[in-house]
A and B are shown apart, each in its own frame.
Chain A
């Protein structure tokens, strides 16, 4: 069985993780891979911890990534990225958005938002921590954060830039495409 590559998207309900994983699945299909993606809808979406599993290769069976086989942990929020570290492969890589969203226990003063999460990530694995919001602002729309992050992710994947453009053009409404392409380029060019 040929190798399947596994990307785990992790973040907070409402961050648009499902849409990001749609673009990702689309580009992988365009690149000729078998693809499966999976996430949970419903109750957990209401501001809770959300993940999306994306798997690709010659033939993919399970829609869920087996424990410890995540090749790229793709985090949209720092705490949520750390939460799923145990699922990462020994030589897995991390991309994390430099964003903190307070969970209820923190927002109500019962717990502190943990400090030093960036160090936890960078000391564990090859990790890129990217200022998604700042780059999205540069791209002209704060709502393009996810596209910035996809741009950063694209550096870790062997997929032609033209296919990314095609996938974005298919998934993003035409009136937002220019700023999303700009956001993607900013994410792709960004270096630590």
Chain B
């Protein structure tokens, strides 16, 4: 087949297709989202978005019980959510290959922590492949299905941001023809994890891992690239690429399987080189296991644990070479932090929460940008769904005069992910906080994936839809109010009333993400500023809309100008202006 340029995520999906995978499922999470998004393009694979990673894994386990190969994908923190079924399914093993693709995010490009998923491989007793480029993403995914069935275990394939979102050349293979065919088959001793059965399975798992570690010593995915020098490098994943880039003269033991460690191979390699470096991103995962064999290595004593590795960082740590730029820009350049889009339905809500002096327990999504100035209206952000429980707990310990300031803010997708449990708790414990659900009908931050509340499936076909209002009422919230997020007066009035109410309450702001293509009708005529009316008061700058530009030279004390390229006419600025300076662009003319 002809070569293609694929991202790591695309190549994992391709590998799953070639392996005859029948079901692929995920909750979106950067940098893993495109795995199942791409799997959904193969009509042979039944693909779907699950409400959260735990459900996603349980659905994949269901497929496995039926004897079908399945793929489940998530970001590193998603594994925390899926950890409960994970730790037990490693005991049950599989009927057909089950692969969990996990994407770590060193440097926290789009995450709340920098955890290293390799620890999950050891903790859950599951083998893990670590991927170094897109070709490996495809090959290791295929291998993972073979290994899964050969050793009766679920298997991790792990990427990191720089692999998941890097593109490199891939030679696709032919789809396999011998994938298992699904059917019903009872095997209670293997799949009913009562203590008596689980005890036996634990023993099987331990023996399996030993067998696997032995076998992995002679497999081509763990390979030695010999060299004449004194230095040997043990490495895996993207760190292999940096090692080759920075230390072209060194010998390399490249681990494809990072758990379990091929002990004999490591010992043999270490014997042959005077100095051993372990080059790995994040935790000293390989390093500690190598040290435990009594082998002296250079590793995290020099290389950073925090942040991602880069060729520059590896060079600085191991070669003592600090980078000096050849060119410098002597001018102080303003930063360009990310921002909510023009017309975003969240903007006016955060503007209002700031005005109401709410203490906002936040959550994970685009709306976490409500933390950024000038909105600056978020006081905590921990993990998916945390806003609700955080709001309850905070509300319950505060003195009376402060209780009613507490507002949890969560997106529709995050609410369905793990927020609903928190809401049950809020009602059950009668915490008198308010929860604002920002319902933009989509999982926006990860690139607009559908969810059980959006009304569409992964292919964009209409589906059944969770009714958020009825859901909140059904867990016992008496006061559930809907508001139009672009109507500032209404947003203010309703949130204020619900904050003051000494009962649990929910405000649902209903307005689709401005980027949803099927809702293109919401993009209205851009506004413009009348230079005659703009007094230069700067009130409109408080919403931080990227479409409003401040022109200090205009008027007597500067004036606002609306970018006709960016404005979608949402009208929030118009409602803030006391001088009626914002007006619709008349046909045939604008102010730029």
Q: Mark A20-45, 1 if CB is under 8 A from B, else 0.
A: 00100110010000111111111111
Of the residues B312, B325, B374, contact of A108 by C-beta under 8 Å: B374
Answer whether residue B212 sits at the interface, using C-beta atoms and an 8 A cutoff. no
Q: Mark B150-177, 1 if CB is under 8 A from A, else 0.
A: 0000000000011101111100000000
Answer whether residue A47 sits at the interface, using C-beta atoms and an 8 A cutoff. yes
Interface 9-mer from B19-27, B277-285, B329-337, B568-576: B329-337
Structural contact, B337 and A64, CB atoms closer than 8 A? no
In B204-255, which residues have CB < 8 Å from any A CB?
A: 238, 241-242, 244-246, 248
Structural contact, A47 and B549, CB atoms closer than 8 A? no
If A46-B339, A83-B333 touch, whether A41 touches B548 (CB-CB below 8 Å) is no
If A42-B109, A103-B336, A104-B336 touch, whether A66 touches B312 (CB-CB below 8 Å) is yes
Structural contact, A106 and B334, CB atoms closer than 8 A? yes
Answer whether residue A159 sits at the interface, using C-beta atoms and an 8 A cutoff. no
Answer whether residue A173 sits at the interface, using C-beta atoms and an 8 A cutoff. no
**Chain A residue with minimal CB distance to B550?**
A109
* Bound Cα distance A35, B166 (Å): 10
**Chain B residue with minimal CB distance to A13?**
B338
If A82-B333, A107-B548, A108-B541 touch, whether A45 touches B338 (CB-CB below 8 Å) is yes
- CB contacts (< 8 Å) of A79 on chain B: these are 333-334, 336
Interface range on chain A (Cβ under 8 Å from partner): 35 or more
- CB contacts (< 8 Å) of B241 on chain A: these are 61-63
Answer whether residue A116 sits at the interface, using C-beta atoms and an 8 A cutoff. yes
- CB contacts (< 8 Å) of B373 on chain A: these are 104
Structural contact, B110 and A107, CB atoms closer than 8 A? no
**Chain B residue with minimal CB distance to A107?**
B549
Structural contact, A66 and B311, CB atoms closer than 8 A? yes
Structural contact, B325 and A87, CB atoms closer than 8 A? yes
Structural contact, B337 and A88, CB atoms closer than 8 A? no
Interface range on chain B (Cβ under 8 Å from partner): 35 or more
**Chain B residue with minimal CB distance to A33?**
B169
7 closest Cβ pairs, A-B complex = A42-B110, A86-B325, A42-B30, A109-B550, A48-B338, A90-B326, A63-B166
If A38-B165, A85-B327 touch, whether A29 touches B3 (CB-CB below 8 Å) is yes
Structural contact, B327 and A86, CB atoms closer than 8 A? yes
**Chain A residue with minimal CB distance to B558?**
A109
* Bound Cα distance A111, B169 (Å): 43
- CB contacts (< 8 Å) of B446 on chain A: these are 42
- CB contacts (< 8 Å) of B5 on chain A: these are 22, 25-26, 29, 35, 37
Q: Mark A49-65, 1 if CB is under 8 A from B, else 0.
A: 10000000000111110
- Provide 15 A-B residue pairs closer than 8 Å at the C-beta atoms, listed in order of the A residue: A38-B165, A40-B110, A41-B31, A63-B162, A79-B336, A85-B325, A86-B325, A88-B326, A89-B326, A104-B339, A108-B538, A109-B541, A112-B552, A116-B331, A120-B330
Q: Give me the interface of B with A, judged by CB distance under 8 Å.
A: 3, 5, 30-31, 109-110, 133, 161-163, 165-169, 238, 241-242, 244-246, 248, 310-312, 315, 323-341, 366, 368-369, 373-374, 445-447, 538, 541, 544, 546, 548-550, 552, 558
Structural contact, B311 and A64, CB atoms closer than 8 A? yes
Interface of A is mostly: mixed
Answer whether residue A80 sits at the interface, using C-beta atoms and an 8 A cutoff. yes
Given contacts A104-B544, A105-B334, A114-B332, 14 further A-B contacts (CB under 8 A): A35-B169, A38-B167, A43-B30, A43-B369, A64-B310, A64-B311, A66-B312, A86-B325, A88-B327, A103-B335, A103-B336, A104-B373, A108-B550, A109-B550
Of the residues B166, B168, B325, B445, contact of A43 by C-beta under 8 Å: B445
Structural contact, B331 and A36, CB atoms closer than 8 A? no
Answer whether residue A177 sits at the interface, using C-beta atoms and an 8 A cutoff. no
Of the residues A26, A35, A102, A103, contact of B168 by C-beta under 8 Å: A35
* Bound Cα distance A112, B332 (Å): 10
